[in-house]
Amino acid sequence: MKIHIKFPSGATKDVIGEWKGFEKISKESSAVAIKLKDGTMFLGDPRSVYREIDTDKVLYNPKDFVDEMNPNMADWMRKNPEWPHPELLL
């Protein structure tokens, strides 16, 4: 699966791998996981938007996981309610 990532900073990244989704690693750590073709795990910023490139389907909207994020990430999301911008979720 080809996945496009839009970070809160405005940066983007495309990766190819198996979608795993949101992972609560510990009380203080959470990430979005994608298993890459070489078998390694890509652990991405849970504040980012993840979209399948071929179908344009939103795989992950950070607003749906705020209460499960680590406290620092959740606090950032609450202080930045405009993120993600609605056009990223269409």
The domain in which residue 54 lies consists of 2-89
Domain count, the chain: 1
Q: Please count the residues of the chain.
A: 90
Is residue 32 within 8 Å of 71, Cβ to Cβ?
no
What pTM was computed for the model? 0.93
| pLDDT per residue as tens, the chain (90 positions) | 999 999 999 999 999 999 999 999 888 899 999 999 999 999 999 999 999 999 999 999 999 999 999 999 999 999 999 999 988 887
CB 63 within 8 A of CB 77: yes
CA dihedral 37, 68, 29, 2 (to 10 degrees): 20
Query: Tokens representing 31?
Result: 């990430």
